[in-house]
């Protein structure tokens, strides 16, 4: 049989095994703060990647317009002309609007002396939003 002193010593040892409520609350608060920071970083990363895709798509579209114009000696009248002629596999989706609603710019500019038909010379995003990083509107890129 156990005596009283041994029983008290064993009970004291067992009561110090767990965490207190304050310790658990502090750990949970730290985890929530770290999650909040990570969520903000994630949102910024997504926005930067959409902007990078937009810049790349605009570059590809502008090169396709120039190549079409120089090859055919006539500017395209729509982005669908570029697709049908094989200059684009498909009209890309604007990453800001999630649609193929690009704003084409038309002008009477000719790229070569042999060009007979003017038409689309540039393309812009249809989004009215602005970049968080440089403050410019996406439809001016």
Q: Where are the domains of the chain?
A: 4-140
Write out pLDDT tens, residues 6-61: 777 766 665 566 788 999 999 999 999 999 988 888 989 999 999 999 999 999 99
19 CB-near residues (< 8 Å, 6+ apart): none
pLDDT confidence of residue 109: 87
pLDDT confidence of residue 133: 86
pLDDT confidence of residue 17: 67
Compute the mean pLDDT over every residue in the chain, rounded to the nearest whole number. 90
What's 62's DSSP letter? H
Share of the chain above pLDDT 70, in %: 91
């Amino acid at each position: 049989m156990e005596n009283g002193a041994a029983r008290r010593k064993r009970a004291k040892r067992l009561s110090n095994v767990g965490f207190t409520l304050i310790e658990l609350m502090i750990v949970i608060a730290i985890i929530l703060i770290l999650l909040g920071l990570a969520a903000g970083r994630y949102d910024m990363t997504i926005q930067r990647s959409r902007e990078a895709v937009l810049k790349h798509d605009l570059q590809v579209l502008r090169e396709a317009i120039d190549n079409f114009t120089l090859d055919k000696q006539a500017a395209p009248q729509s982005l669908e002309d570029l697709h049908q002629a094989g200059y684009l596999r498909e009209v890309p989706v604007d990453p800001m609007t999630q649609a193929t609603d690009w704003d084409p710019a038309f002008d009477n500019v000719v790229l070569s002396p042999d060009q007979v038909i003017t038409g689309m010379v540039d393309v812009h995003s249809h989004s009215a939003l602005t970049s968080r990083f440089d403050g410019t509107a996406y439809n001016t890129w």
